[in-house]
Amino acid sequence: MGLINVEDTEGIRILTLAHEKPTNPFGKEMAEAFMTALRAADADDTVGAIVVNGGRDRSFSAGGDFNEVMLLATDESVDELIDWITDLYVSVLDTGKPTIAAIDRHAIGLGFQLAMMFDWKIVSTRANLVMPELEHGIGASMGAAILSTIGSYDVARHIIMGCRPIGADTAIRLGMADESCEPEFLLDRAVQRARRMARYPHIAFSATKHVLTDRLRTTLEQTREDSKAVHRKTFAAKAMHTHFNNILGKNREKAVSAAS
């Protein structure tokens, strides 16, 4: 089994994030597998729309893979991280076909930002979106740029500086999601929405989407270098390493407990 499971159902391509961890953390390999699957779906004439989900009873994505992030030791490695994250986000914006995110459980940091790239976002009633970076000593420059572009300064400020989860109802009210449903109906609802959007004539949709997403795409590219500078400083300060070690330590304890 790969990192991305691919399934077709009546012209809808379903991409399921299939990391071995149910939190679906993104590292470089996961991002490359996702972008490859997304581009293949966009190029396939039999596909009318694309649904991305984290799998049944799993998180959409709890963010970056701490095991990889802990190994970043040079400015060059930090720059590479920001480059593939930016490319990951842009790949969704550049997809000409309708993209629908089905978001269950957690969408944290990178996972939250990735979800914001989709044309339509459906959250389960138990979903939480959160940007906790600042309280852990991680730069949130890219999240700030994304949220202030798709929303307002005050909404971005509240989410980024509050570092608290946003539930389904609040996400819809703030424009971070389009609809919600119970978890057991999430994927079916996303496929239903995908079928509706797949009926839009492709040329009209893709051309309009390109214009609609241009501001966000431009923001991401403009923020790329600024984010590299911010993350070089924060990674050099190592303030986030205590948080990373705590999370990784808890994961190791769970693994040992499960094996015993």
- CATH number for the domain spanning 187: value is 3.90.226.10
Mean pLDDT by 10 residues, the chain (260 residues): 92 97 95 98 98 97 81 81 96 98 97 98 98 91 94 94 96 96 98 98 98 97 92 79 56 45
Domain count, the chain: 1
What is the bridge-based pairing of β-strands 12-17 and 4-9?
Answer: antiparallel
Pair of tokens at residue 103: 């978001």
**Would you state the pLDDT for residue 252?**
46
Length of the chain equals 260
Supply the pTM of this predicted model: 0.91
Q: What range defines the domain where residue 46 resides?
A: 4-259
- Residue 251 has a pLDDT of 52
pLDDT of residue 202: 96
Per-residue 3-state assignment (H helix, E strand, C coil) for the chain: CCCEEEEEECCEEEEEECCCCCCCCECHHHHHHHHHHHHHHHHCCCCCEEEEECCCCCCCECCECHHHHCCCCCHHHHHHHHHHHHHHHHHHHCCCCCEEEEECCEEECHHHHHHCCCCEEEEECCCEEECCHHHHCCCCHHHHHHHHHHCCHHHHHHHHHHCCCECHHHHHHCCCCCEEECHHHHHHHHHHHHHHHHCCCHHHHHHHHHHHCHHHHHHHHHHHHHHHHHHHHHHHHCCCHHHHHHHHHHHHHHHHHHHC
Helix axis angle, 141-150 relative to 75-93, nearest 10°? 20
pLDDT of residue 139: 87
The rounded distance, in Å, linking the Cα atoms of 192 and 178 is 14
How far is 111 from 121, CA to CA, in rounded Å?
13
CB atoms within 10 A of CB 169: 12
